[in-house]
Amino acid sequence: MIKFLLFLVVFVLALAVPVYNRITPELFGFPFFYWYQIAIVPVASLLIFIVYRLDERGSADK
């Protein structure tokens, strides 16, 4: 179940367009729209990796 919640977080972070369609706050000259969408990539990667570890632990118990 937690697996699906983590994946849901990835979808929400990536598809919540009204939340990130804005200029400020800027970072290193990047408007928010651009740096946010780049910044969520490693976050998504980490969440997927956590799911993988949970799966591995799950199959080791069996």
Partner 1 sequence: MTHPAATLIFLLLIALVIALGFMAGRWKAGNLAHIEEWGLGGRRFGTWVSWFLIGGDAYTAYTFIAIPALMFGAGALGFFALPYTVVCYPILYLVFPRLWNVARARGYITGPEFVRGRYGNKYLALAVGLTGIVATMPYIALQLVGLQTVIGALGLPGHLPLVAALIVLAAFTWTAGLRAPAMISIVKDLLIYLTVLAAIIVIPAELGGFGAIFAKVDPAKLLLPVPHAHSGGLYTGYATLALGSAMALFLYPHTMTGILSSSGPRVIKRNAALLPAYTIMLGLLALVGYMAVAAGVRSMPQFAASFAKYGTSFAVPALVLHAFPAWFAGVAFGAIAIGALVPAAIMAIAAANIFTRDIWGPFFTAGGTHGSALTAKLFAMVMILGALAFVLGLPSTYAVQLQLLGGMWVIQTFPAIALSLFTRFFNGWALLLGWAAGIASATWLAAEKGFSGSIWAFHIGGYSLPSYIALATVLLNVLVAGALSPVCNAIANDRARDETRAEDYV
CB of 2 to partner 1, least distance (A): 14
Rounded Cα gap, residues 53 and 50, in angstroms: 5
SS in 3 state form for 36-53?
HHHHHHHHHHHHHHHHHH
Question: Minimum distance between the CB of residue 60 and partner 1, rounded to whole angstroms?
Answer: 12
The answer to whether 40 and 30 have CB atoms below 8 angstroms apart is no
Site string for partner 1, 21-60 (x = CB under 8 A): xxx--x-xxxx-xx--xx-xxx-xxx-xx-xx--xx----
| Sites of contact with partner 1 (CB under 8 A) | 7, 10-11, 13-15, 17-18, 21-23, 26, 28-31, 33-34, 37-38, 40-42, 44-46, 48-49, 51-52, 55-56
